[in-house]
Amino acid sequence: MLSSATKTAFHLEQRDAWQRFTDADRDSYDAFLATGAADAGFLGGWCSLVREAAGRGVELRRLRLVSEPVTDYIRWEHALTAANLAAGEQVRWLPRSRCMDLLIVPVDFWIVDSRLVRFGLFSGDGDVADHQVRDEPGISALVADCFEAAWSRGIAHEHYTLA
């Protein structure tokens, strides 16, 4: 979907932990737990896609809703975020305690060009269960409004201190 974006690509993440790792990200995560150092090398392919989209003028924003105190997984993601920023993404963090009066779509999603939505659905044990792509104007508007309301409360990565 990112390759089809012409103006915007926004991503809302809501998971405090991830159950399914590839070998490369598992190695990075395990090393982080052991040493506190984050190796973002496995993000190279993603960062290339982001750089290419940003080079076309696409605005890329990622918002992470987090529980506090944060999990080790979120600490690792926070440490890796420099790679996202360097590639051209804007990243904000939103503690759940700061969005209790917002209506939030209850699943992770991407919204591209305010019209195409990709919902990520996960099973209870953390496996990716399905993705649904929707383009109905009512759904796109609802998701875009949700993202913008939450984004406006998010804390820029460089100002978010892990709790």
pLDDT digits (tens, 9 = 90+) for 130-159: 999 999 999 999 999 999 999 999 999 999
Name the phi and psi angles at 111, rounded to 5: -130, 125
Q: How are beta strands 116-122 and 8-13 bridged, if at all?
A: unpaired
pLDDT at res. 109:
97
Whether residue 59 has pLDDT greater than 90? yes
d(CA 71, CA 56) in angstroms, rounded, equals 35
Domain span at 152: 2-159
pLDDT at res. 18:
80
Whether residue 13 has pLDDT greater than 90? yes
Token pair in block for residue 8? 């915007």
Upper half-sphere CA count for residue 7 (Cβ side, 13 Å)? 5
d(CA 69, CA 76) in angstroms, rounded, equals 14
Whether residue 71 has pLDDT greater than 80? yes
The per-residue pLDDT for range 78-128, each reduced to its tens digit, is: 999 999 999 999 999 999 999 999 999 999 999 999 999 999 998 887 778
Q: The whole model's pTM is what?
A: 0.95
Percent of the chain with pLDDT over 70: 100
Q: 110: which residues sit within 8 A by CB, 6+ positions away?
A: 1, 9, 10, 11, 117, 118, 120
pLDDT-derived band of residue 24, with 50, 70 and 90 as boundaries?
Answer: confident
Whether residue 23 has pLDDT greater than 90? no
pLDDT at res. 2:
92
Per the structure, how many domains does the chain have? 1
pLDDT at res. 45:
96
Instruction: List the alpha helices (DSSP H) in 36-118.
Output: 44-55, 72-87
Name the phi and psi angles at 122, rounded to 5: -125, 150
**Under 8 Å between Cβ of 90 and 41:** no
The DSSP code for 139 is: H
pLDDT at res. 117:
98
Whether residue 19 has pLDDT greater than 80? no
Identify the three-state secondary structure at position 25: helix
Token pair in block for residue 74? 């979120």
User: What CATH code is carried by the domain that includes residue 83?
Assistant: 3.30.870
Helix (H) or strand (E) holding 162: none
C-alpha closest to that of 63 among 39, 18, 95, 21? 95
